[in-house]
Amino acid sequence: MKRRKLDPAEATANFAKGADDRFQAATPLRGLLNKVFPDHWSFLLGEIALFSFIVLLLSGVFLTLFFDPSMQEVAYDGSYLALRGTEMSSAYASSLHLSFEVRGGLFMRQMHHWAALLFMASIIVHMARVFFTGAFRKPREINWVIGVLLFLLGFFAGFTGYSLPDDGLSGTGLRIASAIMLSLPVIGTWLSAAIFGGEYPGELIIGRFYIAHVLLIPGILLALISVHLGIVFKQKHTQWPGPMRTNENVVGERMFPRYAMKQGGFFMAVFGVIALMAGLFQINPIWNFGPYRAAEVSSASQPDWYVMFMDGLVRLMPNWQIYFGPYSLPPLFWPAVVGLGALFTLPMAYPWLEARKLKDTKSHHLLQRPRDNPERVGIGMMALSFFTVATLSGANDVIADKFHISLNAMTWAGRIGLLIVPPIAYYLSVRICLGLQQHDREVLAHGVETGIIKRLPNGKFVEIHQPLGPVDDHGHPIPLEYRGWVVPKKMNKIGALAPAVKGFFFPVEKPAEAPVSPAPITSSKREEIGSKR
Amino acid sequence: MTTAHHGGTGTPVDVHDPKLTRFDIVKEGLRRDDIEIVTYESQFQGPNSKAEKRMVRSISLLFLIAGLFALAFLVFYIVWPWKFEMGHTRSDYYTPILGVTLGISLFALGIAILAWAKKLLPHELSIQQRHGDPSSDEDRLITGQTAMYVADELGVQRRPLLKGAIALGMAPLGLAAAAPLVGGLIKNPHGDPEPMMYRTGFDPVPNGNKPVRLSREDGSPIRPEDVSAGGQLTVYPAIPGGATNKYADSPTLLIHLRADDAATARAAADGDKNGRNKGSMWGNYVAYSKICTHAGCPASLYEQQTNRLLCPCHQSQFDIVDNAQPIFGPATRRLPMLPLSVDDEGFFVATSDFKDTVGPDFWERP
């Protein structure tokens, strides 16, 4: 019998046919392969968060194989001699075991921690990009709200995560968390007792935080991230204004192959950077902190950086206690509960507040350059400077120590700074935006400075400007309209210089003929005000 | 996604036409998805350009570097001494080596893929129409009416009895679902047998009404001469487990003041407005709860010169010669003072529990 020859092309085609018979996949798949994405470096900031999250899931699963979320007291007998014989919880002992006696365990622990820090950092930078360019406007308000929720969940994922090793530092963090719960009016003691299963610290909290950290919070995070990306996909990405770009189209490149490849390459690069950091930079050396003891803490006790703003606010709060007859409201309530609440609810409401103020009900798919909405930039800078002052105050004891400043002076500087820095940031950023706007208009009206000085017959010196558009009968440029995109302001941006030659030591290929400088502006280019990229 | 509402622009072509190239068919697909390719051009001059070959070589090199370092990662992972030993040993470099080898491998792979996409693939500029319009008024009407129709069919509006019955049936069931979670977690913070908010390990009642001795972390009792003047010691209740986290509110700072400071402190304690601290010092010794009244960290940094206690968490400062009143920072309440005495055998005891409430403040604190 003759063996049938297997033709790979035919086999693939048959497989594809079979798949389409069953799932009707061909038509939607065509749409997916063809989907166009706009491209700009700032659109990739959110990707860093996504990639860090994937690294978090991968490294986190590894850690669960060795971590024991139990507060059972054991005597340490591992290879770190300095702690041998010390009574500690199983959680702390297993974290030490993971760091010292599991091959590559410390590397995985540090990778998990660095990925978490990067996750939060990239979320903040991504949020800033979305905010300052107005990408949150209709129809994307819901996705903005989901983004804020992702930050909040990341905050709690981080807090529950660094509480798990039950070392000296994380126990102190838990104690403060319990105090924050206690500060709630009426229900405070009941809430703390419910979470800790009785008196602080009890014997349940590590187990409860563990299930929250490995199942509940990542489950919700995963669901919200899926919805977040799904909405981006459905609504299509925003794009910058520019030549050919309108509110009704997407100008860019198709998802496959180039865009998807760039995503994959970027993922690997982010993963590589996290691995480098995990290997080279020590983070959370829990063996130095010892097991948690209620009586022990050292100075320079700082939480992870994304919690520091809250610690800073708590440090700066004056000791204002409010009394209601026999009851009282501790000052801790304001920065920790009200402060955290406001920092999350106000940004969530912002898209609607801005739309209401501007009476704007239209859908926006074109981004705004920050300078074109100075008020928004001012408000954003206010929020960021508030966050920065609060975060720095979270480390004010370290700053005071390193720079030999009085600790009390640092606290007062933070208190005053929290009130006056944001308004200054608002004023300055609004002025800068207006100045940038004005310069754009000036170049559009008069042209680009050439650096050529001309002497007039009457002895006056003038600089010659290269008009960007047509000129009138007297040779004066006809002012152009601003289209919301970069205005070329240097002669080499409008073709006055030859294109760069490829090659490091010698040209790889013969360079193209250099154009006469300045390049003649062809009629087709007169309509555009693009960056010529 | 059907071709029905993606008419597309331009004329359709017959995709079965054998004369069409593959790219022609791709373009027909793009047309159906309302995408127009504006430019699609190779980045190189001609099919055999030197620049292209050079780029291919560079990218191949990057892939090889990725493979080489991944291999190095594996080799080091297996052969490098990894078991932790105290002191400066070769195992110290295990984690950095893993990081560097894996990091370079992944990074090189990433750059290789990026360079492939950015430098080898043709540059393209495509325009896709958004179709971001809302559904048509007709569709909205139909969907809305369908939803109303569903509600009509159920007839909850027409059948008031059903409405009431559903409310009465579902609300308790919802509560029943929430009850185990809430009920299981709930714990009365003021309930018997241990009203946890107001009692510490120094309470004499569980100790058979005998005053509780002060002890070091190892459980040994303390004599007055064990603490020199100007010195301080963290002490715990001398009961089983007194120094563990089970009694997290009990750690106390025993301070031996110098004579002049002690006089000031005693005058302040005896002149205490609510009288709770009266007679709580013993000789020149005073003991304050170590648990900060602000957020519960141990207020453990003792400044001898200024007689201040500083909490390192949020920098509350307490004046130890004035009933540990807060003088700076976010704390509002003084640190509770432990009434001290010395028993027949000459060891420190607490004559009673703390009279102020220990630990962070809360709503119903008396």
Q: Could you read off the pLDDT of A240-283 as tens digits, one per residue? A: 998 889 999 999 999 888 999 999 999 999 999 999 999 999 99
CB B229 within 8 A of CB B258: yes
Residues B214 and B329 grouped into a single domain: yes
Domains of chain A are: 37-242+251-435 (1.20.810.10), 447-533 (no CATH)
Asked if A121 and A270 touch (Cβ cutoff 8 Å), the reply is no
B315–A254: do the CB atoms touch at under 8 Å? Answer: no
Contact with chain B for residue A198, Cβ under 8 A: yes
Shared domain check, B215 and B100: no
Q: How far, CA to CA in Å, does B82 sit from each of A77, A111, A354, B129, B361?
A: 18, 17, 57, 57, 48
Query: Rounded to 10 degrees, what is the CA torsion of A296, A300, A304, A308?
Result: 110
Q: Would you say A224 and A146 are in contact if contact means Cβ atoms under 8 Å apart?
A: yes
What is the per-residue pLDDT for A345? 92
What's the whole-number average pLDDT of chain A? 90
Q: Is residue B277 part of a domain?
A: yes
Pairing of strands A461-466, A448-455: antiparallel
Residue B8 domain-assigned (yes or no): no
Q: Distance between CA A456 and CA A212 in Å, rounded?
A: 78
Of A330, A397, A508, nearest to B51 by CB-CB distance is: A508
Q: How many CB pairs under 8 A join A and B?
A: 319
In this structure, is residue B4 part of a structural domain?
no
Note the pLDDT of residue B303.
83
Q: Which among B262, B238, B228, B226 is positioned nearest to B349, based on CA atoms?
A: B238
pLDDT at position A294? 87
What amino acid is encoded at A282 in this protein? Q
Q: Is residue B304 part of a domain?
A: yes
- What are the tokens at B182? 């809430």
B346: left (phi over 0), alpha (psi -120 to 50) or beta: left
> How close A452 comes to chain B (CA, Å)?
36
Distance in Å, alpha carbon of A319 to nearest chain B alpha carbon: 4
According to the model, what pLDDT value does residue A524 have? 45
Q: Are residues A508 and B50, on separate chains, in Cβ contact within 8 Å?
A: yes
- A453 pairs with which residues across the strands? A463
Q: What is the largest CA-CA distance in chain A?
A: 104
Longest Cα pair distance anywhere in chain B, in angstroms? 111
Please tell me if residue B326 touches chain A, with a CB cutoff of 8 Å. Answer: yes
Single-letter amino acid, residue A250:
V
For residue B182, tell me if it sits in a domain.
Answer: no
Query: Which of these three, B100, B128, B156, is where a domain ends?
Result: B128
pLDDT digits (tens, 9 = 90+) for B90-113: 999 999 999 999 999 999 999 999
Tell me how far apart the alpha carbons of residues B261 and B7 are, in angstroms, rounded to a whole number: 92
Q: Is residue B308 part of a domain?
A: yes
Distance from the A344 Cα atom to the nearest Cα atom in chain B, whole angstroms: 23
Residues B122 and B240 in one domain: no
Q: Can you say how many angstroms the Cα of residue B114 is from the centroid of all Cα atoms in its chain? A: 35
User: In this structure, are B119 and B211 located in the same domain?
Assistant: no
Any B CB within 8 A of A36 CB: yes
Q: Does B58 touch chain A (CB under 8 A)?
A: no
Give the sign of the dihedral formed by CA B355, CA B360, CA B361, CA B362. Answer: negative
Q: In the numeric block, which tokens belong to residue A185?
A: 């009016």
In this structure, the answer to whether residues B123 and B214 fall within a common structural domain is no
Could you tell me which residues come within 8 angstroms of residue B302 by beta carbon, excluding any fewer than 6 positions away? Answer: B232, B253, B255, B308, B309, B310, B320
Which residues of A, range 380-409, sit inside 8 Å of B by Cβ? 396-397, 407-408
Is residue B116 within 8 angstroms of chain A, CB to CB? yes
What are the distances in angstroms from CA B363 to CA A512, B80, B205, B289? 78, 58, 26, 20
Q: How far apart are CA A321 and CA A333, in angstroms?
A: 10
Domain shared by B224 and B342, yes or no: yes
Q: Per the structure, how many domains does chain B have?
A: 2
Residue B253 sits in a domain whose CATH number is 2.102.10.10
Is B259 near chain A, with CB under 8 Å? no
Residues paired with B342 in a beta bridge = B348
CA nearest to A398 within chain B: B312
Asked if residue B213 and residue B345 are part of one domain, the reply reads: yes
Query: Which residues on chain B are in Cβ contact (under 8 Å) with A397?
Result: 312, 315
Query: Is B263 contained in some domain?
Result: yes
Do B220 and B338 share a domain, yes or no? yes
Shortest alpha-carbon distance between residue B285 and chain A (Å): 20
Integer Cα distance of B172 and A230 in angstroms: 36
Q: What is the model's pLDDT at position B87?
A: 83
Q: Which domain holds residue B123?
A: 50-128
What's the predicted TM-score (pTM) here?
0.91
pLDDT < 50 positions in chain A:
521-533
Contacts of B107 (CB under 8 A, 6+ apart): A268, A269, A272, A273, A276
The two structure tokens encoding residue B232:
């301080």
Run of H or E residues at B214: strand B212-215
Residue A450: phi, psi to the nearest 5?
A: -95, -20
Sequential pLDDT tens for chain B (366 residues): 333 344 456 788 888 888 999 988 998 999 988 899 988 888 888 888 888 999 999 999 999 999 999 999 999 999 999 988 888 889 999 999 999 999 999 999 999 999 999 999 998 899 999 987 888 999 999 999 999 999 888 888 888 888 889 889 999 999 999 999 888 898 888 876 666 778 889 999 888 899 999 999 999 999 999 999 888 999 999 999 889 888 999 999 999 999 999 999 999 999 888 889 998 999 999 999 999 999 999 988 888 888 999 998 999 999 999 999 999 999 999 999 999 999 999 999 999 999 999 999 999 887
Question: Per the CB < 8 Å rule, is B124 touching A253?
Answer: yes
> Which of B98, B130, B194 is closest, CB to CB, to A279?
B98
Asked if B336 is an interface residue toward chain A (Cβ–Cβ < 8 A), one would say no
* pLDDT of res. B192: 61
The DSSP code for A300 is: S
Interchain contact A278–B (C-beta under 8 A): yes
Residue B118 to residue A275, Cβ atoms within 8 A: no
Nearest-Cα distance to chain A for B263, in Å, is 28
C-alpha–C-alpha distance, residues A286 and B123, integer Å: 50
Task: Give all strands of the β-sheet with B348-350 in edge-to-edge order.
Answer: B285-289, B252-256, B232-237, B212-215, B348-350, B340-342
- Give the Cα separation of A191 and B250 in Å (integer): 22
Closest among A83, A525, A25, A5 to A293, alpha carbons compared: A83
Residues B210 and B110 both lie in one domain:
no
Q: What does the alpha-carbon distance between residue A386 and residue A347 come to, in Å, rounded to a whole number?
A: 14
pLDDT at B13: 86
Q: Closest residue of B to A177, CA-based?
A: B295
Chain B contact present for A82, CB below 8 A: yes
Do A321 and B361 lie within an 8 Å CB cutoff?
yes
Is B214 found in the same domain as B323?
A: yes
- B94 occurs within a structural domain: yes
